[in-house]
Amino acid sequence: MNYIHLTERIKQSAAVDFGSVLNNSVELFKKVWLQGFIVLIITFVSILPFYLLIYLPMIIMGISDPSSLEQQEMPPAFAGFMVLFMPIFILGVMMVGICLNAAFLRICRKYDLNETGKDDYFYYFKKEYLVKALLLSLVMLGLSLLGVLTCGLGIFYLIVPISLFPAFFAFDKELSALEIVKSGFALGNKNWLMIFLLVLVSGLIAQLGVVLCFVGVFFTAMFGKIPIYFVYKDTVGISMDA
């Protein structure tokens, strides 16, 4: 679906039904809770190298000169490395998150529409998608910084459009990164309150796993992503091409 057609779909779409989306999300979660758990584990494993790269200089420094770690101030060399590497770290984590979230939404479509085929968790780890994910991550990072500059108030507004980016990324491969951003804001602005409430409520439900000795949260955490699938499906319509 091209951007012009998509924009018209968004303009003509019906309002998001909070109850319907939440109920459908609960029913679909019963089918994809295991896949959500797998996505979460893959996410942790995927971002682990970025954490290792951050702390590797400190580990090496501690081995070569243990007394350097006893200082209260961060060594200048390590501080400089952190300043240079932190943006790369954040972008890397964002890219992984976008690709895996998109893959999970694609898996949600499979079980929702009873499609055949395997659960491809790495479907979007291809060059054409990774480049787009990088550009999208840069935009998201910029938007997040702008939100912080508004004393954090902008973050509340940005939660809605940013949460929609993975859905457009997953199901509208013809869109550029900028068009994904525009589409996210268009759909988000039209249904901001309902989507915000869905994100908030589903996020709270996703944390219910904490009551099971904290282990359960690994199985429930991805529930928070499912309402976005139904928001997209009910307003734009799911493409079968992605």
- Short-list 64, 10, 38, 23, CA closest to 202: 23
93 within a domain of the structure (yes/no): yes
Q: Which domain holds residue 18?
A: 3-235
Q: What pLDDT, on the 0 to 100 scale, is given for residue 66? A: 67
**Whether the Cβ atoms of residue 36 and residue 206 lie closer than 8 Å to each other:** no
Q: Is 240 inside a domain boundary? A: no
Q: Does 228 have pLDDT greater than 90?
A: yes
| Domain count along the chain | 1
Interval 115-124: pLDDT, tens: 988 999 999 9
Task: With respect to residue 217, please indicate whether it lies within any of the assigned structural domains.
Answer: yes
**Any residues with CB less than 8 A from the CB of 132 and at least 6 apart, and which?**
169, 176, 177, 180
Q: Is residue 95 part of a domain?
A: yes
Q: Dump pLDDT digits (tens) for 179-222.
A: 999 999 999 999 999 999 999 999 998 888 776 666 678 888 89
23-36 confidence digits (pLDDT tens):
999 999 999 999 99
Residue 241 lies in a domain: no
pLDDT tens for 62-105 read 676 666 656 666 666 666 767 777 888 889 899 999 999 999 99
In a domain, 26, yes or no: yes
pLDDT of res. 219: 85
The token duo for 173 is 């491969």
